[in-house]
Structure 1
């Protein structure tokens, strides 16, 4: 079979879907990350108005991250400053709760946040690959994506702490 771009626009899910460049893969991936964050918002338990407000602020920033490789930059130093502040806030509230590597477990919202965390790592990897291929973008993008992965993790710790859900240590036999 010869895989060709359809002539009917209704049969094309994304204008750049048939590109061979990694840019499209990055955009499809960050679209998935934005959808996963929407799933987190849909599953958040009662009593987490602070987290919901922060995630609602963060949600459109994922699409800004998405469009910042092909289009103009949408992630700025002030976005990084805000995310650093929110990370520090939740990290301070849950200080000392996690001191080792833990298994990703918990209620649905926590598990969706773990999916966002791993998706953020994939975003960093795709940005690295794009950079290696010669695509130019602002340095705020990988910094934001790295911090995003860490922010999602600290939210899982905070939420599980407030819900009194035990963290399960992972003891590696590899290291």
Structure 2
């Protein structure tokens, strides 16, 4: 026990006592993190953290979101069972904000049908199942107006 205490004191003396150990605020999320993963709200995006060439894209996305949209703030699910429902609502609203209200019915059909997982960590079948579903969705609906969104979504799940 004495050696453990001496070790801790020696480390504190050599390295400084928690100097600068305060927690940094979380980084500004990427567009793909907000749009396709849906675990961070659009309100956390800081346009200044993007290169000048990318800022118009970020601004255009931010302007496409309605002022009262659920996308601005993170909806914390009250239980683990509600996580998938929140992800579905987020997915639908992301599609509608990008493609416009005209695609709402198609976005809802896709959002309520896609097999979303609560989490993927350590599970290879989660993203693969979602990507395979998107392949089938696009095959059955070759002219779907949400093809650009779901196509990019598929690519991210295959990475």
Q: Relative contact order, CA 8 A, sep 6+: which one is greater?
A: 1
Q: Could you tell me the TM-score, scaled by structure 1's length?
A: 0.28
Decide which structure has the larger Cα Rg and report it: 2
